[in-house]
C-alpha cells in the first residue's frame, strides 16, 4: 500500500542519514526530502517532482521545531501516533498539500 511504502522508505532514508543533515532522495516517481536534526529528531516529506524543495525543507523546519517544543524528548524514540498528541501536523499537511499553499 502507499502508506507502507511511505513508512518503509521514510525509515530507511532517516536511518541512512547523518545527524544534522538534509537530503532529497528520488524514490520511484517521488522525491523524499529528509531532515535529521542534530538532536536526532527527523522528518520526511514525500512530494512529487514539481513541489518546490525549498518549501519542503521550510515545512520540515516548522514541524520539527514545533514538535520538539510540544513533545518531551524522552517520548521521541518510543512514541507513536497513538501515544503522542501532536495535532498541529494535520493543519500543516492540509495547508501545504497543494502548492502554492491555501490560506
> What's the pLDDT tens digit per position in 60-79?
999 999 999 999 999 998 88
Query: Which residues pair with residue 23 across a beta bridge?
Result: 34
Residue 45: helix, strand or coil by DSSP? strand
- Mean pLDDT taken over the chain: 91
**All domains of the chain in start order, with CATH:** 2-96 (3.30.450.50)
- pTM of the full structure: 0.87
> Residue by residue, what is the 3-state secondary structure of 42-101?
EEEEEEECCCCHHHHHHHHHHHHHHHHHHCCHHHCCCCCCCCCCCCHHHHHHHHHCCCCC
H or E element at residue 27: strand 21-27
pLDDT score recorded for residue 62: 95
pLDDT score recorded for residue 44: 96
What does the pLDDT look like over 19-64, one tens digit per residue?
999 999 998 889 999 999 999 999 999 999 999 999 999 999 999 9
Amino acid at each position: 500500500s502507499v502508506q507502507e511504502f511511505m513508512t518503509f522508505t521514510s525509515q530507511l532514508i532517516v536511518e541512512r542519514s547523518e545527524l544534522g543533515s538534509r537530503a532529497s532522495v528520488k524514490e520511484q516517481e517521488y522525491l523524499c526530502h529528509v531532515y535529521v536534526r542534530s538532536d536526532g529528531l527527523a522528518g520526511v516529506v514525500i512530494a512529487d517532482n514539481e513541489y518546490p524543495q525549498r518549501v519542503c525543507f521550510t515545512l520540515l523546519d516548522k514541524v520539527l521545531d514545533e514538535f520538539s517544543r510540544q513533545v518531551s524528548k524522552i517520548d521521541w524514540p518510543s512514541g507513536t501516533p497513538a501515544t503522542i498528541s501532536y495535532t498541529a501536523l494535520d493543519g500543516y499537511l492540509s495547508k501545504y498539500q497543494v502548492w502554492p499553499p491555501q490560506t
